[in-house]
């Protein structure tokens, strides 16, 4: 697809919390072109513009790189900057990998939550009410995400223990 459509679809997939700008999309596309992960497939003229649109398609090397990246499990998979992107592509990820990424993210958030809660009790007397509210909001957000991750992990484990029956022919 062309860059505009790609940006629109990625923004839809990533949700309201992340917006992919053209300033980051096009340099990334150029880098992927140089790495032969994508190729310019065709160009089309648009009725609105006389400039041709460049249409990109994933190469075999790009597919292999995507699969490699999605199979990596480690701290970068569950950090704030990468987790949402990884999660958006979970439908194409092996269940064991999904579980490891979810568990890693939950552990990381639980550590962060414990740290924030211990600091919160120490700083409540030292900060104004707005700073205290911001800290409280951070705690509540982390608690909600930990619960959400726990629910996802339990659902994955349940599916793992009771895989759907294959249709009989």
Q: What's the whole-model pTM score?
A: 0.76
Collapsing DSSP to helix, strand or coil, 56 comes out as strand
Instruction: For residue range 104-144, list pLDDT tens digits in order.
Output: 999 999 998 988 888 777 676 777 888 878 888 888 999 99
Is 103 a domain residue? yes
Cα–Cα distance, 138 to 130 (Å, whole number): 12
Collapsing DSSP to helix, strand or coil, 45 comes out as strand
Residues 89 and 58 in one domain: no
Residues 23 and 87 in one domain: no
Residues 123 and 47 in one domain: no
Residues 101 and 151 in one domain: yes
Please determine, for residue 43, whether its predicted confidence score (pLDDT) is greater than 90: no
CB-count exposure of residue 83 (10 Å: 0-12, 13-18, 19+): buried
Domain that holds residue 23: 3-67
């Amino acid at each position: 697809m062309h860059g505009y459509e790609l940006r629109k679809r990625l923004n839809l997939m990533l949700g309201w919390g992340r917006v992919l700008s053209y300033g980051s999309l096009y340099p990334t596309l150029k880098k992927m072109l140089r790495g032969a992960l994508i190729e310019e497939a065709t160009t089309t003229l648009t009725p609105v513009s006389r400039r041709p649109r460049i249409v990109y398609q994933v190469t075999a090397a790009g597919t292999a790189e995507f699969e490699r990246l999605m199979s990596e499990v480690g701290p970068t998979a569950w950090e704030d900057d990468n987790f949402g992107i990884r999660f958006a592509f979970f439908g194409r990820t092996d269940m064991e990998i999904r579980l490891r990424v979810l568990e890693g993210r939950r552990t990381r958030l639980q550590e962060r939550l414990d740290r924030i809660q211990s600091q919160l009790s120490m700083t409540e007397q030292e900060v104004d009410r707005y700073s205290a509210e911001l800290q409280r909001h951070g705690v509540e957000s982390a608690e909600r995400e930990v619960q959400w991750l726990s629910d996802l992990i339990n659902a994955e484990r349940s599916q793992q223990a009771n895989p759907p029956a294959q249709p009989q022919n």
